[in-house]
Amino acid sequence: MSALVAVLTLPLVAALGVFVVPARLRVPMALASAAMITGAALALCVTVARGGPVMLMAGGWAPPIGIALRADGLAAALIIMTALVMGAVTCAAWFEASPARAGPRMAFGFWPLMLLLWGALNAVYLSRDLFNLYVGLELISLAAVALAALSGTAQAFAAALRYMIFALAGSLLYLAGVVLAYAAHGTLDIGLLTARTPAQGDALALGLMTAGLLAKTALFPFHVWLPPAHASAPAPASALLSALVPKASFLILMRLWFEAMPDLATPAALLALAVPGAAAVLWGGVLALVQKRLKLIIAYSTVAQLGYMFLVFPLAGGGGAAQPWAAGAWTGAVFHALSHGLAKAAMFLAAGIYIAAVGSDRLGDLRGLARALPMTGFAFALAAITLMGLPPSGGFTAKYLLMTSAFAAGQWPWALLLAGGGLLAAGYFYRPMVALFARDARVPLLRSIPRAWQSVPLVLAVLSIMLGLLSATPFDLLQVGRPPPASEGL
């Protein structure tokens, strides 16, 4: 219980603290706060794994009067992944976000925004109330838009403004759906909505909330804000925007379709969620193939990688939720979210090191750079292995679970999509790998990169591989509190 409270309150208190302390104490306080929050996340994860879901009634009042917070296996896994990424980003920003290197805007604004985002993400992972989830989403959008604009360039401000427009539109759609759900049932608690008597407006409410969340997740065709925002932001901010921010709205989609209103998950509705995911895999992969900047390749890769997660809806939702393959599809989608978070953060942090070293992320300017920065090159290669879905990485485990579920369900086109997306990923990651490991070039470094800085993305990349090698433990954790099959829950 105390660990659950700590992961919610510590980031918000720390965000206020780094905002008011003197500049010389800002980084030490951020590092200490990150260590404490990570410790609380580990404690909560162990508690959930050993004793089952942890519940907390805010103010001692049970729903529908009060607000319930619940840490199940899914929430605990996302909380620990977020803590690992945030800890790594904090260490990388320690090197990158000093006033002398990044300017006063980055040095002052990054720390409170990062911690605010951390607290908002944890709130979304744990909340069981649809309006409370809306509040968490708004805090995430507030911090994410500011992080996207943190570099202060005209391109960054334009990208952040576009991001804000999509975020506001998504928020309005989601909130409209919440209002309709409350009007029909008098409660917004997910557990109580599961046991509700179906009402006429439920489909419209779920549709509005889903549309808003798709915009916030940047699923095709709502992805147009994502590549410019990620490419123009500082590398630590890009890592957060890509690895963590889309996972919050995707989690809410899973809560809605698998827990709150599984009776509305008709085959047509689930197909309508999966088709844009398939288009995202193909469109994002094709556009990543033609980019000439490393950060844009990674950003369009995020568009493609997010699409895989939406295959969970036709494979594990509706009537198929009672089938034996549903658990594998559900777990595979979450495994993909976890491995993508670790690997994509590693890639953006590696790109930040390259930009710091040579002043550019154009592929032509990075030729031979892996010889000068071998640890960073190795980290990028390991992260690419995960995102391509090659063994023994966590990405391979995710795609294996999804692909075997697709064949077991007789939905083989999704398996072909997984294979085709992997080939596209191999193609668009091959180009930066060829440039980085070129033997006919030697790039002079504009700035020496400490080994400690280079080790940060390497740790994340190794963790993304270990997620596959040691997959039994996270697999068991994800089954704690997993929603029952539709036939059992109705």
Mean pLDDT value of segment 339-346: 96
5 vs 120: CA distance, rounded Å: 13
Under the banding of pLDDT at 50, 70 and 90, the label for residue 101 is low
Mean pLDDT value of segment 408-418: 90
Between 225 and 213, whose confidence is greater? Answer: 213
- pTM for the predicted model, two decimal places: 0.93
Residue 243 near residue 342, CB atoms below 8 Å: yes
pLDDT in tens, 104-117: 667 678 889 999 99
Under the banding of pLDDT at 50, 70 and 90, the label for residue 232 is confident
Mean pLDDT value of segment 297-305: 94
Under the banding of pLDDT at 50, 70 and 90, the label for residue 20 is confident
pLDDT of residue 440: 72
347 vs 358: CA distance, rounded Å: 17
Mean pLDDT value of segment 2-17: 91
Residue 451 near residue 375, CB atoms below 8 Å: yes
pLDDT in tens, 351-390: 999 998 888 889 888 888 888 899 999 999 999 999 999 9
Residue with tokens 């954790």: 477
Under the banding of pLDDT at 50, 70 and 90, the label for residue 408 is confident
102 pLDDT more than 80: no
Q: Which amino acid is at 129?
A: D
156 vs 341: CA distance, rounded Å: 23
| SS3 readout for the chain | CHHHHHHHHHHHHHHHHHHHCCHHHHHHHHHHHHHHHHHHHHHHHHHHHHHCCEEEEHHHCCCCCCCEEEECHHHHHHHHHHHHHHHHHHHHHHHHCCHHHHHHHHHHHHHHHHHHHHHHHHHHHHECEHHHHHHHHHHHHHHHHHHHCCCCCHHHHHHHHHHHHHHHHHHHHHHHHHHHHHHHHCCCEHHHHHCCCCCCCHHHHHHHHHHHHHHHHCCCCCCCCHHHHHHHCCHHHHHHHHHCHHHHHHHHHHHHHHHHCHHHCCHHHHHHHHHHHHHHHHHHHHHHHCCCEHHHHHHHHHHHHHHHHCCHHHHHCHHHHHCCHHHHHHHHHHHHHHHHHHHHHHHHHHHHHHHHHHCCCEHHHCCCHHHHCHHHHHHHHHHHHHHHCCCCCHHHHHHHHHHHHHHHCCCHHHHHHHHHHHHHHHHHHHHHHHHHCCCCCCCCCCCCCCHHHHHHHHHHHHHHHHHHHCCHHHHHHHCCCCCCCHHHHC
Mean pLDDT value of segment 42-65: 86
What are the distances in angstroms from CA 483 to CA 190, 243, 261, 333, 402? 12, 25, 12, 14, 18
Mean pLDDT value of segment 302-316: 92
Under the banding of pLDDT at 50, 70 and 90, the label for residue 98 is low
17 vs 20: CA distance, rounded Å: 5
Under the banding of pLDDT at 50, 70 and 90, the label for residue 325 is low
Mean pLDDT value of segment 129-145: 93
Q: For the chain, give the mean pLDDT.
A: 89
Among 25-29, 259-263, 306-310, which range has the highest average pLDDT?
A: 306-310
344 pLDDT more than 90: yes
pLDDT of residue 319: 53
pLDDT over 90 percentage in the chain: 61
